[in-house]
Every structure is written in structure tokens, then in C-alpha cells.
């Protein structure tokens, strides 16, 4: 999920909570930048997204919030990540790398069952050719099959990690640690890994039968991220 999408989702959340009300205008760009800790470019992209989604009516440049409470209800009852990572830098590119492994004691302990073959996937998030974050995912072959994911297609792999699994999943368990990144081996250099502290966010995603279907480890500098915890 890119930063403008997170801003758009936060605006939709505030509409649902009646912080922002249908029939009223969106706040100014400057106020949105302050409220959602985003740049003007990100705010403008988020507004364009909301206009395209029918959440905001920009006729005559009024940016009126439409009456979409019933539609938003469906949006917010869907499973979504519980701990969004909000980068202070815009994500401009994602490098995807994957390799296949066979079931072993590590995967059996992680998933509490024999999952057979699985994929180790790395997503490297870039800002202007600089890697600013890394997500390491363990993806069972059974999830790849059930989600009809083409593991030879890097964009499809990224969609599985960032979108599909949250539509398939039912719940997640999150653990947040603050670590010294110099004690972790990264295949590529990440911004801040030599001189700052990192967040390590461990995320286990479960299906409705309380089985782990995918695990993520997210790494990024505390200087480039703000964690917001949403609970229900």
C-alpha cells in the first residue's frame, strides 16, 4: 500500500467516524497535510483517489464529501492490516525477490503444521532509488494456489503480499520490536541501517480456522516511519 492510499483510507475512516461529514468540504491541502502527516503531493494523490472512488465530488473544485456511509461500512468491515507503516518518504518503486523452499523444522514451527513447499519473498521499498524498507514474507504454496497467484509475475507476488492475503485472511497477530539493524543481515542496504534504530514488525495472518496462512517481517528505520495502532 502506497502512502497516498493510506492517507485516503484514513480520510475514509474519519468520514465513517463523522470527524469529516458528508455534504461538507474537505479541509484545505495544508490542513490535510498536518492531520495526516503527508506531503502536498501525497495529499493531492489521495484526493484524486477519493474522487475516482466517488467518496469526494470535485465538481467546480468544491471537494464535497459525498453521502457514502453505507458504502464505507463495507470497506471498514473488511480485514485490513492492524499496524499500518507510514513512511515519511513516498514509495516510488518496489523490488520483488522470491525463492522456493521445501518444508523443514523452521516452517513447521512457524505454521504449526507441515505446509509442504513455501516461498520466501522479499519486498524492497524504494524512494528515488534508495531502499527505505524491507518486508520478508513466508508464503505457503497452498496460499499461492488458493489465491491464484502467479509466482513468476513479480507484480502478482506483490499484490498477494499487500492485498490478496488481507482479503483471504480473518485476523492477525502483531509484535513490534525496536532493534539494532546491524545485527540483521540484509541482502541490500537499507537507509539508516548503519546509524539508526529500526522497527521490526512481526505479523502473522490467520484464516477463519485460526491457522497461520502467511507471516511477514517488516524492517525500516524509526526515522522514516510512524506506527499507528488501530483497535476495535
Q: What pLDDT digit, counting tens, does each position of 23-73 carry?
A: 899 999 999 999 888 899 999 999 998 998 889 998 888 899 997 644 554
Q: What pLDDT digit, counting tens, does each position of 113-163 carry?
A: 999 999 999 999 898 999 999 999 999 999 999 999 999 999 999 989 988
At residue 85, the pLDDT reads 54
Confidence band of 81 (pLDDT split at 50, 70, 90): very low
Confidence band of 83 (pLDDT split at 50, 70, 90): very low
Structural domains of the chain ordered from first start: 3-77 (1.10.10.10), 86-227 (3.40.1410.10)
Residue 78 has pLDDT above 80, yes or no: no
Q: What pLDDT digit, counting tens, does each position of 170-211 carry?
A: 888 888 899 999 999 999 999 999 888 999 989 999 988 889
17: which 3 cell numbers?
A: 467516524
Distance CA 121, CA 157 (A): 8
Alpha-helix residue ranges (DSSP H) falling in the chain: 3-16, 29-35, 40-52, 69-77, 105-111, 141-146, 154-159, 165-168
Amino acid at each position: 500500500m502506497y502512502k497516498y492510499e493510506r492517507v485516503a483510507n484514513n480520510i475514509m475512516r474519519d468520514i465513517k467516524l463523522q470527524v469529516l461529514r458528508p455534504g461538507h468540504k474537505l479541509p484545505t491541502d495544508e490542513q490535510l497535510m498536518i492531520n495526516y502527516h503527508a506531503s502536498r503531493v501525497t495529499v493531492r494523490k489521495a484526493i484524486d483517489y477519493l474522487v475516482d472512488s466517488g467518496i469526494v465530488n470535485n465538481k467546480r473544485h468544491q471537494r464535497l464529501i459525498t453521502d457514502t456511509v453505507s458504502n464505507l461500512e463495507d470497506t471498514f468491515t473488511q480485514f485490513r492490516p492492524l499496524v499500518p507503516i507510514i513512511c515519511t518518504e513516498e514509495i516510488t518503486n518496489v523490488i520483488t525477490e522470491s525463492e522456493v523452499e521445501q518444508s523443514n523444522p523452521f516452517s513447521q514451527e512457524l505454521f504449526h503444521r507441515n505446509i509442504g513447499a513455501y516461498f520466501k519473498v522479499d519486498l524492497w521499498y524504494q524512494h528515488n532509488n534508495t531502499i527505505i524498507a524491507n518486508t520478508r514474507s513466508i508464503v505457503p504454496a497452498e496460499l499461492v494456489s488458493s489465491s491464484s497467484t502467479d509466482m513468476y509475475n513479480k507484480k502478482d507476488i506483490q499484490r498477494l503480499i499487500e492485498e490478496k492475503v488481507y482479503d483471504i485472511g480473518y485476523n492477525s497477530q502483531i509484535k513490534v520490536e525496536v532493534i539494532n539493524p546491524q545485527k540483521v543481515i540484509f541482502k541490500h542496504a537499507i537507509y539508516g541501517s548503519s546509524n539508526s534504530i529500526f522497527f521490526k514488525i512481526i505479523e502473522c495472518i490467520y484464516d477463519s480456522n485460526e491457522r497461520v496462512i502467511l507471516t511477514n517481517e517488516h524492517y525500516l528505520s524509526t526515522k522514516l516511519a510512524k506506527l499507528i495502532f488501530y483497535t476495535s
